[in-house]
Amino acid sequence: MTHTLRIKVRGYHCDFYGHVNNARYLEFLEEARWGFLEDGLDLAEWKARGLGFVVTEVTIKYRRPAGLNAVLEVRTRTGSLGPRGGVILQDVVLVESGELAASAQITFAVIDLARGKAVPLDGEIAETLGRSLPPADGKDAS
């Protein structure tokens, strides 16, 4: 499943050079991930069960600048699910040209909120994640 979110670049998103500030991309990516997770999972139910999602690593590759009034589309999809965590892949595309402005790989874990420790992605958790957040290509991500 691929989730898309459109964002119009505002003045406060830009740096001194008129480009989207690198830190703003993190906010855009986070907003899109929330939508992605909400589309596939009942996050309130996960929280009630004492489980939460945490980002453990972010890798962003900036490819070309986006400026004031540009419309960006953030495309979010599951990359892989493993025994201790998973990867979400995100692309930020300049809508007008179709060019890739940035790409990101977000590594996450599911944690036990009370203990603050990662839980294995097996059994019901793995089944729910695999069913709710299938990889964009439809193949098994494990």
User: pLDDT at position 141, please?
Assistant: 42
Catalytic residue among 15, 42, 112, 140: 15
Q: Which of 40, 59, 41, 39 shows the shortest CA–CA distance to 49?
A: 41
Q: How far is CA 135 from CA 17, 122, 126, 129, 142, in A?
A: 37, 17, 13, 10, 10
Superfamily of domain 2-125: Hotdog Thioesterase (3.10.129.10)
Mean pLDDT of the region 107-121:
95
User: pLDDT at position 136, please?
Assistant: 65
Could you read off the pLDDT of 41-86 as tens digits, one per residue?
999 999 999 999 999 999 999 999 999 999 999 999 999 989 989 9
* Residue 142 scores a pLDDT above 50: no
Could you read off the pLDDT of 35-52 as tens digits, one per residue?
999 998 999 999 999 999
Could you read off the pLDDT of 1-45 as tens digits, one per residue?
799 999 999 999 999 999 999 999 999 999 999 999 999 899 999
User: pLDDT at position 95, please?
Assistant: 98
How confident is residue 137, by pLDDT bands cut at 50, 70 and 90? low
- Active site annotation includes 15: yes
Q: What SS3 state is found at 50?
A: coil
